[in-house]
Amino acid sequence: MTYQIIIQPTALKMLKAIPDRRIRQKLSERIDGLAHDPDKQGKALTDDLASYRSLRGVGQRYRIIYTIDKNRVIVFVVAIGLRKEGSKKDIYTLAKKLIELKLVQ
């Protein structure tokens, strides 16, 4: 089964803000790969992000945070960015804020 991929506008801005063209390209390829078996890729998140999954994008640093709607066969990419544990700019911290502010689904 092939899933439709929808990149939320906020996630698209995050992707476009990455200065290195090669990293953007690799992240885009990883996102496209979510069309097949997205629930077997990445890892399930916990706590405030319990209904979301995280996929390593490029190396150990970049993460793609997404959720799956199995009823409609859609993958929603909600955030893309760097893992900076303990930082305000950590992708998981940013994703939590986006969800709390209802800026993403």
Tell me the CATH number for domain 4-100.
Answer: 3.30.2310.20
Neighbour tally for 43: CB within 10 Å: 9
Q: Which residue has the tokens 């990149």?
A: 7
Distance CA 91, CA 2 (A): 27
pLDDT at 105 (0 to 100): 65
The string of pLDDT tens digits covering residues 8-40 is 999 999 999 999 999 999 999 999 999 999 989
The string of pLDDT tens digits covering residues 70-95 is 999 999 999 999 998 888 889 999 99
Q: Where are the domains of the chain?
A: 4-100
Check residue 13 and give left, alpha or beta (phi > 0: left; psi -120 to 50: alpha).
Answer: alpha
